[in-house]
Structure 1
């Protein structure tokens, strides 16, 4: 076995090196970026605290504890680690202890001539047998097949660990996005409720003017149509809010019927500012990039496992034990028995099956490398998209704010003019519809900025703060 251990220093198949990836020298949408390699062990931090919402912070703490998808991913990781330990155990000898005790009697009879020439027939006597032995067998990993198998299992386990991190990040970002949608529904409901109150007052004014012959019947109908249409929008918001609330419940591991979030009365969309320069370590933390790279590592090791099929399998074994027909004398030295030896098995002809297994393993590695490179490129694209959207949405929000302010002023002016009998009610209707649309557009763009911030954080593998620079 010592000789076998010395031979085990070699391992067939290629050693793994991280596949090179062609990446741009910098992100064009912002400054301060450089290409990065996977480093998902870097702390991602509690990135959701960037939004400054205590309710969101509490929900994010619950999702890490109760989300069932995370529990499944964590169990898959534990299973992968167990497989590594199982494969590693094959590097060591297997020792078995066996023991047996039997008593038997063979069929048949025998004859015997007794005193006086009497012939008697007797059955064969019963016999006892006792055995105890200790055996060991070992397959020296001369060609490195077992070590390559362990290496592949390690790569798969590390990929599973990265999958768990990715599941956490996905659940956290999904929860944040659903929470934003729920709070946007609350904000939109406050906006429409105030609008409905204003439209109801306008309808009352128009009805009063119609009664005294100042306004036409069509003005009343227009005012009522505008009011009930907005009330319908208000009702539809309840459905949107319920869907977001149900999604949050599932993410934190609760039944939708058992979970309720009270409406927020003062929630205002506040997207966190995106720094002009972000450290390259942020992109390195993406767990999906790490998972793809480690699957390439596992696939590379499988080439060595397949290549080992060209070489003979060698097994060393030995045993030492005792056997006796009497239990009390079982362990007497005279009853000892031992054996040792080796076995060698070499495939002589398999019609090219071993060679094709090697070809298949190499193809699997090429596939894993291509997937890894595509994952990296997709990561760069997602970050570029998020940075571009952050810049565009910030500029758009300025214009939406100005448009909403102007529309509010125009609405008030035309409403005053209508009360003074200077303009037709159709002008008021148009102004009110324009003002409402501008307010909704402003709220929508503010929500899009927050949602895009969440997507950008997920694309970066986590948030940003001073500690990460």
Structure 2
């Protein structure tokens, strides 16, 4: 039975040696379908005019770093710079990457170059006493100094594959660091915009609450004078209370956003930063949109998945190479003796040299199981790469559709705001002339304030979705890849 299994192992090893391509897959990511646009519908070249801005989508443009500066706000730039500089999460990820790079250098040096060690031995000993044989006791000194060398030949590339896989894993961490940096910048920008939008909505809602309270007071007086029913007066008080009830929710959302922003930039929530006003932020007019084929090279998460495929392919090669023989050389040289004169004399020379060849024969099927496991892991890495690419395309498609719809929403809100403003001005003028009661003025002013709240919400959402698109495109520069051969 043992002979049969041994023959099977040797035959399999010979077959693998003849088919060098079976050592490892190429490690190249699979080809992905690429169309001229991301979404279900063809991408428009620009949005409608909203907020006085027409956003143009520059198809095929190269994404650039520090995209947040396109908002032209020094205060926003300072927040992002502080976050990138002080974020403990980002710093921890950077340190983890540095540790992985140093471990890779150590692994490459230890596995590709001979190891040489020095050893010194100084010993004083006493031999056992044997009655009737020689002196009663023997004491002696021993001195030795040696250099020990060891080297294992990478005959079938196992070491090379292992180092290549480890280097690819370091690249995964490097790209993940870049993705974390991009996500941090986008989260800071989004949080700052949300806080600014909440500030605008809270200020307008406070005005709306004041107007609603005035309207309720007027209706109470009219009820007391008999010109209004009690039901209508109570309805006015109910409306005013309902509007006032929206303020705590807005303030809570604002508190959550500012606390999150403080933590993102490395501060405690009680030391939250000041946030630029919504009007001080300029919406980027030109948005670069990389073609799908270029997106594969610009997004760090896709490049990390690509590096993971290369690492898994190298693991297959290493698992295959361990089925083949391994050759090692050892050597030592030095001097030794029982006294210093003997050590320094010609008789004190010591040396040794040896070679060892090992071939796996029977490991209970473990080596073949490890190779099959590495192949399965490679297939999983390829599928994960495909999933990452599809998710990236989805992110871009969603962001592009959001910006188009955001512009239309803001334009509609602005039209409603303009109409409500004109109605309020007209009603206020007629009230001053005595042709309309104050209740009519309150009603039109409330509609005007509601329209402005909707416009502020839409403007903030448009700015936030623009930041999301910049993040989805992968604007920040990609890290330098780590190569096992250069460590």
Name 1:352's counterpart in structure 2: 365
Q: Corresponding residue for 1:62?
A: 82
Question: What is the rounded CA distance, in whole Å, between the counterparts of 2:354 and 2:336 in structure 1?
Answer: 20
In 2: Cα distance, 1:390 partner to 1:238 partner: 26
Which residue, out of 12, 18, 22, partners 2:32?
22
**TM-score, normalisation: structure 2:** 0.81
* Distance apart, 1:73 and its partner CA: 1.4
Shift of 1:68: 1.6
Asked whether the equivalents of residues 211 and 442 of structure 2 are also in contact (C-alpha less than 8 Å), the reply is: no
Q: Which moved more, 1:235-244 or 1:402-411?
A: 402-411
Match of 1:118?
A: none
Moved more, 154-163 or 76-85: 76-85
Secondary structure of 2:360's match?
A: coil
Compute the displacement of 1:278 (Å).
Answer: 5.2
Cα distance in 2 for partners of 1:11, 1:345 equals 23
Decide whether the 8 Å contact of 1:11 with 1:145 is kept in 2: no
What's 1:49 paired with?
Answer: 69
**What is the DSSP-based 3-state SS (H/G/I as helix, E as strand, rest coil) of the residue aligned with 1:330?**
helix
Matched pairs, number: 439
Indicate the SS of the match to 2:344.
Answer: coil
Mapped contact 2:144–2:335 kept (Cα < 8 A): yes
> 1:170, 1:458 within 8 Å by CA — same for their partners in 2?
yes
User: Do the aligned residues in 1 keep the contact of 2:108 with 2:163 (CA within 8 Å)?
Assistant: yes
Shift of 1:338: 1.0
CA contact (8 A) 1:186 1:264 kept: no
| 1:331–1:30 CA distance, 2 compared to 1 (3 A) | farther
- Map 1:344-383 to 2 at 5 A: 344-383=357-396
Q: Deviations 1:379-432 (Å, cap 9, x if unpaired)? A: 11211111111112112211111112223444555677788576795x777656
In structure 2, the CA distance between the partners of 1:24 and 1:307, relative to structure 1 (3 Å rule), is same
Is structure 2 residue 100 aligned with structure 1 residue 80? Answer: yes
Residue 92 (1) aligns with residue 105 (2) = no
Give the SS at the match of 1:310.
coil
CA distance in 1, matches of 2:391, 2:44: 17
CA distance in 2, matches of 1:277, 1:339: 67
Kindly provide the CA deviation profile for residues 353-396 of structure 1, in whole angstroms up to 9, marking residues without a partner as x: 22222221111111111111221122112111111111121122
Ranked by relative contact order (alpha carbons within 8 Å, sequence separation 6 or more), the top structure is 2
Note the residue ranges of structure 1 that are not aligned, 5 or more in a row.
1-9, 37-41, 113-120, 465-469
Q: How big is the shift at 1:217?
A: 4.5
CA RMSD of aligned residues (A): 3.1
How far, CA to CA, are the matches of 1:264 and 1:230 in structure 2?
27
What is the correspondence of 1:228-247 to structure 2 with a 5 Å cutoff?
228-247=241-260
CA distance in structure 1 between the aligned counterparts of 2:302 and 2:97, rounded to whole angstroms? 17
Unmatched 5+ stretches in structure 2: 1-19, 46-57, 478-487
> Deviation string for 1:421-463 (max 9, x for gaps)?
76795x7776565444432222221111111111111110128
**Residue 226, structure 1, aligned to residue 226, structure 2:** no
**Alpha-carbon distance in structure 2 between the residues aligned to 1:91 and 1:447:** 57
Equivalent in 129, 151, 154 of residue 108 of structure 1 = 129
- Tell me, in whole angstroms, the C-alpha distance in 2 between the residues paired with 1:79 and 1:43: 30
Quote the residue 1:7 is aligned against: none
Q: Deviations over 1:1-51 (max 9, x none)?
A: xxxxxxxxx9982363522322223113246757x9xxxxx9841111111
Match of 1:115 in 2: none
Per the alignment, in what secondary structure is the counterpart of residue 83 of structure 1? helix
- Conserved in 2, the CA contact under 8 Å of 1:394 and 1:449? yes
Secondary structure in 2 matching 1:267: helix
Residues 269 and 447 in structure 1, CA contact (< 8 A), matched pair in contact too: no
1:164 alignment counterpart: 177
The worse-fitting range, judged by mean Cα deviation, of 455-464 and 343-352 is 455-464
- Aligned counterpart, 1:447: 460
